[in-house]
Structure 1
Amino acid sequence: MSVSNKAKTVTINPAFLADVKDLHQELWDGLHALQEMCSLPISLEGKCFEFIGRLSDLRDKLAFQFSVEEAYGYFDDPAFCCPTFARRSNELLQQHRDLYMEIASIAERAEQLLSVRDLAALTTIIPIAFDRFADKLQKHESAETQLMHDGLMQDIGGGD
């Protein structure tokens, strides 16, 4: 399927989009599983390896998700739209790096704490840091969804 606009033609590969959608769901499932684990931090003591594995998996899935969004048109050619839309788009694009660096840092810190057997810090500091990260990621995703909605409404003249 191809979609044309004044700027260019975009070809959409349905199989690829299905894979991306599945990965996106896996990302959110992983985020929710980690949130659940963090809600009972004392239970993390017996699940440290699983917890750290899930953090690393989420980091990797997030890196892929962001690269797909950046490479396949979620933020392409903001110059062809209104300045407000372009500014919002660029702000969200910048957040990708910051969010990735934050989850990478949390995963790395968790691995360090486990390697020195500091389970007290692992079960207190990391869940707090992860909860803050999860909140930022959810706000970011909501803002992206709103941006896409606003862009669609602008494109088709919604609200008339």
Structure 2
Amino acid sequence: MRPTILFADNERGIRLFCRQELEAEGFRVVLAEDGDEAVNLVSTYTIDLAILDEHMPRCGGRESASRMKESNAELPVILFTADSFFESYSSPQVDATVIKSSDLTDLRAVIAKLLPATRTNQNRERTESKPASSAVAINSAFFQEIKEENINLSFLLTSLRAWLRLGPSAYHQRDRFVGLLRELQEEVNLHFSLEEGYGYFENAVSVAPDLAERAGALRDEHKKMKSEISRLVEQAESVRTGSHTSEFGNLLARARSFLDQLQSHETCERELISLAFNNDLGTVD
């Protein structure tokens, strides 16, 4: 019987993506979108290992782990978080912590360590006959759907647009604006890293080789945009501790330009995938 992994994360795109990757490894995957649901599923299913996001609504990862251990002290639990603060975190309730990244190598290694050897060996035998690329290159059209379900990114873009409409009058609340920019930087870096690490462009080009130049140009934009958001955050930190509203106005203008650039970039990526797969993916918000 395949080992069953409970994967809990409030971000739908991450849930779908990791489920596909883990199922490609031979695991059965049960999904939860918050801590309460995850705890309830442990009492409903025979779960062999739980992977919990720390920042979930209702009940976070550590609290969920504690509640799970009360009913099943032997259940291996992995805290899966983007917060590097927890990198060396350990407790009786959490068996291991893995920092989120575009590469699931660390997560796979910890799963192999925590699950019984006989079960991971069975998985290995089951997946050895599969093409190596099956666990690496994600179908680009499917990945496009995941991207569009990125609630965090959509929320940040909406919030930042609202701030930009306020203009310089929002200066007295600039700390919150700077915080939103930092969150956007993290989301954009993760967003681009997932595309680069899991064959978003390569998979599309393999279907439509004539789109190689366009795909390459879009991929090259990632580096430029990551540098731009980094400089934007640095300027924001400087403005936050300063006292000149004129500098804040300049920051708003740069932020507006970056959001427009990001929107245009995402639209071009969407068109690339539509052309490659002849797939109507809807409209861009």
TM range (shorter): 0.7 to 0.9
Once the 2 structures are TM-superposed, how far is the Cα of residue 117 of structure 1 from its aligned partner? 2.4
Provide the C-alpha distance between the structure 1 equivalents of 2:133 and 2:206, rounded to a whole number of angstroms: 11
Of the three residues 174, 177, 180, the one matched with 1:54 is 180
Are 2:265 and 1:140 aligned? yes
1:153 aligns with 2:268: no
Contact 1:24 1:65 in 2 (8 A): no
Q: Is the 8 A contact 1:63 1:100 kept in 2?
A: yes
Q: What's 2:191 paired with?
A: 65
Aligned counterpart, 1:9: 134
- The corresponding residue for 2:111 is none
Deviations 1:10-39 (A, max 9, x none): 576xxxx7xx65872211210121111011
Q: Distance in 2 between matches of 1:89 and 1:7?
A: 23
Greater relative contact order structure (CA < 8 Å, 6+ sep): 1
Q: Where in structure 1 are there 5+ consecutive unaligned residues?
A: 155-160
Separation in 1, partners of 2:222, 2:155: 19
Per the TM alignment, residue 79 of structure 1 is displaced from its structure 2 partner at its CA by 6.2
Report the AA paired with residue 168 of structure 2: I
Amino acid at match of 1:135: D
Residue 110 of structure 1 aligns to a residue whose secondary structure is: helix
| Superposition pairs of residues 29-40 of structure 1, within 5 angstroms | 29-40=155-166
**Which of 46-55 and 81-90 deviates more?**
81-90
Structure with the largest fraction of helix: 1
Match of 1:99 in 2: 225
- Structure 2 residue identity aligned to 1:85: L
The CA deviation at 1:140 is 0.4
Query: SS state of the match for residue 117, structure 1?
Result: coil
- Out of 143, 151, 155, which is 1:25 matched to? 151
CA distance 1:82–1:148, shift in 2 (3 Å): closer
Secondary structure (helix, strand or coil) at the match of 2:200 reads coil
Q: Residues 46-67 of structure 1: CA distance to partner in whole angstroms, max 9, x if unpaired?
A: 2110000000000111000000
Aligned partner of 2:201 among 75, 83, 87: 75
- The answer on whether the counterparts of 1:92 and 1:140 sit within 8 Å (CA) in structure 2 is yes
Q: CA RMSD in A?
A: 2.7
Deviation at 1:7, TM superposition (A): 10
Letter in 2 for 1:141: E
Is the partner of 2:202 in helix, strand or coil?
coil
In structure 2, what residue type is equivalent to 1:55?
L
Q: Of the candidates 131, 134, 157, which is equivalent to residue 256 of structure 2?
A: 131
Percent identity, aligned pairs only, is 26
Instruction: Output the CA distance in 1 between the equivalents of 2:264 and 2:224.
Output: 13
- Give me the whole-angstrom Cα distance separating, in 2, the residues matched to 1:38 and 1:152: 36
Structure 2 unaligned spans of 5+ = 1-19, 25-130, 280-285
Q: Does 1:115 align with 2:241?
A: yes
Distance 1:37 1:55 in 2: 11
Change (3 A) 1:35 1:79: closer
